[in-house]
Amino acid sequence: MKIGINASFLQKPDTGIGQVTINFINELIKLPEFKIQNSKFKIKEVDFFLYLEADINFKLPKNFHKRVFLPPWKRDDLIRKIWWEKCQLPKMAAKDGCETFISPYQCPTILPAGMTHKMLVHDMIPEIFPEYLDNWRKKIYYSLTKRAVQKADTILTVSEWSKKDVHKYLKIPEKKIRVAYPSVGAEFFEKGDLEKDNKILDKYGVFGRYIFYIGGFDVRKNIPQLIEAYAEMRKRYDINDVNLVLAGEDKSRYSRLFTDLNAEIEKHGLGGKVKIAGFVKQKDLPALYRNAEFYILPSLYEGFGLMALEAFASGTPALLAKNSSLLEVGGGAALFFNPHDSEEMSRVMGKVLRNGKLRHHLAEKGKSRAKKFSWKNFVEKILEE
């Protein structure tokens, strides 16, 4: 048995797809056996081929083989991505004799006849927010991706919400779509060390009590509404000792799809109260979650909302927008709010900040909720027929 895996995102571990790819492969290695096409296979008896755009330092068993290649066009952009995923990848998988191929994210890959293709679709953002397709390259990539998803033998999604969206927008029968819930890295479940955590907080310039947000600053993340709600909360409840920490890279100078954070902070007179922490390495994230008063996600749409689960696993109360997959992931472990209503958002924020017992209750429920999601179940769901 030979199985191919698009492992391109192993080189981008600080992204959501990167984390899914890393944890999928790590869990796959640990799995003793799996069932496919009504037959059982021991992992060590199967040859796995990992297809990469750049070599990575990743410890692999002997039956896991790396295939590293790039098209003549070396620049890391959508042209190279299409060339690699649509043209080169299928040829390499066919050359290696793969019988099954796994794509851990939606992409333009269409495989030769006879090779079973399993594709994981995370969300349908371009359908819901067409403004994201703001140039011809993105439009071509998305058009090719839709066709590839429709031609895949098995389609998996990360939530029931995404499953409904795939069915709705791509007209794919629901019986052809399965849900495979991801989990988060083991580092989020670990107990923190105060001294080490303080060093990490100091590294990012985070001090005192704070509300934490990470998850991107593009338009669907609804950050202007969050900053407005934070400003309202400070006035409404006279809370002046809790800052708002926004983690992630500010890309507003590159694209109008991203919020100008400094302009929003200045608009509400919050200089010195909102901290832009910048890009945070994956290994540092648990400390930022653990020491926050709570995590807040005001997003207008999430295919899964991995950050909510990271907060749960870290023992951090989570406040989530009442929409898309967040209701599904959060269950009864989070407090929800209308992301379009800054007044409601501010009330929920103030309620949690003023009630230590509630914060403790949410933290405990979150930790219990996080344990319901496992990489073992995720891997088995992808492999099964």
377 domain-assigned: no
Distances in whole angstroms, Cα of residue 268 to Cα of each of 86, 90, 179, 308: 46, 52, 42, 27
302 domain-assigned: yes
Strand 294-297 and strand 318-321: the pairing is parallel
Question: pLDDT (tens digit, 9 = 90+) per residue, 310-326?
Answer: 999 999 999 999 999 99
Higher pLDDT, 298 or 77: 298
Confidence of residue 187 (pLDDT cuts 50, 70, 90): very high
Q: Contact at 8 Å (CB) between 5 and 101? A: yes
Question: pLDDT (tens digit, 9 = 90+) per residue, 339-379?
Answer: 999 999 999 999 999 999 999 999 999 999 999 999 999 99
382 domain-assigned: no
pLDDT at 124 over 70: yes
pLDDT value for 34? 72
Mean pLDDT of 5-13: 93
**Do residues 158 and 92 share a domain?**
yes
293 domain-assigned: yes
How far is 284 from 289, CA to CA, in rounded Å? 9
pLDDT value for 132? 95
pLDDT value for 142? 97
Q: Could you tell me the CATH number of the domain that includes residue 296?
A: 3.40.50.2000
pLDDT value for 43? 83
**Do residues 215 and 361 share a domain?**
yes
170 domain-assigned: yes
Q: Say which residues have a Cβ less than 8 Å from residue 374's Cβ, sequence separation at least 6.
A: 183
What is the SS3 assignment for 245-298? EEECCCCCCCCCCECCHHHHHHHCCCCCCEEEEECCCHHHHHHHHHCCCEEEEC
pLDDT value for 37? 63
pLDDT value for 385? 66
pLDDT value for 273? 95
Domain boundary among 180, 205, 225: 180
pLDDT value for 287? 97
Q: Please tell me the total count of domains within the chain.
A: 2
Confidence of residue 8 (pLDDT cuts 50, 70, 90): very high
pLDDT value for 84? 96
**Do residues 354 and 299 share a domain?**
yes
Domain boundary among 180, 213, 235: 180
Strand 64-68 and strand 100-103: the pairing is unpaired
**Do residues 246 and 265 share a domain?**
yes
**Do residues 191 and 163 share a domain?**
no
**Do residues 201 and 126 share a domain?**
no
Residue 183 identity: S
pLDDT at 253 over 90: no
pLDDT at 292 over 70: yes
pLDDT at 14 over 90: no
**CA torsion angle 202 197 221 131 (round to 10):** 70
Share of the chain above pLDDT 90, in %: 86
Enclosing domain of residue 20: 2-180
Q: Contact at 8 Å (CB) between 334 and 362? A: yes
Confidence of residue 210 (pLDDT cuts 50, 70, 90): very high
Q: Contact at 8 Å (CB) between 102 and 156? A: no
Domain boundary among 180, 206, 235: 180
**Do residues 45 and 190 share a domain?**
no
**Do residues 161 and 230 share a domain?**
no
Confidence of residue 32 (pLDDT cuts 50, 70, 90): confident
Mean pLDDT of 282-288: 95
**Do residues 172 and 193 share a domain?**
no
**Do residues 153 and 294 share a domain?**
no
pLDDT value for 261? 95
**Do residues 154 and 203 share a domain?**
no
How far is 171 from 365, CA to CA, in rounded Å? 37
383 domain-assigned: no
pLDDT at 252 over 90: no
Question: pLDDT (tens digit, 9 = 90+) per residue, 217-250?
Answer: 999 999 999 999 999 999 999 999 999 999 998 8
pLDDT at 170 over 90: yes
266 domain-assigned: yes
pLDDT value for 13? 87
Mean pLDDT of 62-77: 91
DSSP state of 113: T
378 domain-assigned: no
**Do residues 106 and 190 share a domain?**
no
Q: Contact at 8 Å (CB) between 247 and 277? A: yes
Prediction pTM value: 0.92
Question: pLDDT (tens digit, 9 = 90+) per residue, 42-59?
Answer: 888 899 999 999 998 888
Average pLDDT for the chain: 94
pLDDT value for 45? 86
pLDDT value for 88? 96
